[in-house]
Structure 1
Amino acid sequence: MVLDKLANASRYTSMHPLFELAFQYLQETDLMAVPTGVHEVKGKDLFAIVSEAKGSPKEEAKLEVHRKYIDIQYVISGTDHMGWKDLALCSEPNDPYTEERDAAFFPDKTGNWFDVPAGSFTIFYPDDAHAAMVTEEVVRKVVLKIAVK
């Protein structure tokens, strides 16, 4: 898991062949003007999901993991409160993995909470169980989905 500011994105471009293109998208796109929804960047290997919504309370937070995609979650406006837990420490999922949604959800709770303010991003790998949008404010964000391959 990584938490940093977009200004430091160059530190991470060598971590995956598509990270340079992903960060270029974040830096060169007017993300306030992009409509909510799914947007292709490089086919199914790299796409963006833009959302603007109020989050949910911590009591309702669900840890999730993905197998096929790495998430780069970038906050455009507001502050996203997120949780993290090492997948190896999670119990069995109460909502098992399906390939169609590329997600499994866990009943586990975490004590690892942090704020991600506008201009910052997280990177969640397949072994990072995470809960996002744990906030009662409206947050505009983009989640870049990068194929693990």
Structure 2
Amino acid sequence: MVLDKLPNALRYTCMHPLFEQAFWYLQQTDLMTEPTGMHEIEGKKLFAIVSNDRGVSEQEYKLEVHRKYIDIQYIISGTDHMGWKDLALCSEPNDPYREERDAAFFPDRTDNWFDVPAGSFTIFFPDDAHAAMVTGERVVRKVVLKIAVEV
């Protein structure tokens, strides 16, 4: 898991062949006016999901993991309250992995919470169980870049 600010994105482009293009999208797109929904960047290998929503409470969150995609979650406005837990420490999922949604959900709780303010991003790899949008009634505008693990 990574937490950093967008001006430091060049530090991470060596981690995956599509990270440079992903960060270019974040830096070159007017994300305040980008319509919500999915935006293809490089087909199914790299796409963006823009949202402007309220979150869930700390009682409602679910830890999730992905197998096929790495998430880069960039906060456009507001502050996203996120949680993290090492997948190796999670119990069996209570909502097993389904390929069509590329997600499994876990009943586990986490003690690792952090705030991600506007202008910052997280990177979640397949071994990072994470909970995003644990913001209660607060609205957060964000973009989640989905980057295929295998290109």
Return the TM-score normalized by structure 1: 0.99
> Letter of the aligned partner of 2:17 in structure 1?
P
SS of the aligned residue for 2:59 comes to: helix
The CA distance in 2 between the partners of 1:63 and 1:144, in whole Å, is 18
Question: How do residues 72-87 of structure 1 correspond to structure 2 at under 5 angstroms?
Answer: 72-87=72-87
Displacement, 1:13? 0.4
List runs of 5+ in structure 1 lacking aligned partners: none
2:135 matched to which residue of 1?
135
The CA distance in 2 between the partners of 1:76 and 1:52, in whole Å, is 9
Q: Give yes or no for the alignment of 1:146 onto 2:116.
A: no
SS of the aligned residue for 1:59 comes to: coil
List runs of 5+ in structure 2 lacking aligned partners: none
Deviations 1:46-76 (A, max 9, x none): 0000000011111101000000000000000
Q: Post-superposition, which runs of at least 4 consecutive aligned residues in structure 1 deviate over 3 A?
A: none
Displacement, 1:105? 0.1
Displacement, 1:84? 0.1
Displacement, 1:43? 0.3
SS of the aligned residue for 1:60 comes to: coil
The CA distance in 2 between the partners of 1:53 and 1:33, in whole Å, is 15
> Letter of the aligned partner of 2:145 in structure 1?
L
Return the TM-score normalized by structure 2: 0.98
The CA distance in 2 between the partners of 1:76 and 1:13, in whole Å, is 20
1:36 matched to which residue of 2?
36
The CA distance in 2 between the partners of 1:132 and 1:25, in whole Å, is 21
Displacement, 1:24? 0.2
CA RMSD in angstroms comes to 0.3
SS of the aligned residue for 2:130 comes to: strand
Question: How do residues 82-101 of structure 1 correspond to structure 2 at under 5 angstroms?
Answer: 82-101=82-101
Question: How do residues 100-139 of structure 1 correspond to structure 2 at under 5 angstroms?
Answer: 100-136=100-136, 137-139=138-140
Percent of pairs identical after alignment? Answer: 81
Q: Give yes or no for the alignment of 1:53 onto 2:53.
A: yes
2:27 matched to which residue of 1?
27
The CA distance in 2 between the partners of 1:106 and 1:56, in whole Å, is 16
> Letter of the aligned partner of 2:4 in structure 1?
D
The CA distance in 2 between the partners of 1:31 and 1:41, in whole Å, is 14
Displacement, 1:138? 0.3
The CA distance in 1 between the partners of 2:102 and 2:50, in whole Å, is 18
The CA distance in 1 between the partners of 2:6 and 2:58, in whole Å, is 26
The CA distance in 1 between the partners of 2:86 and 2:66, in whole Å, is 13
Displacement, 1:134? 0.2
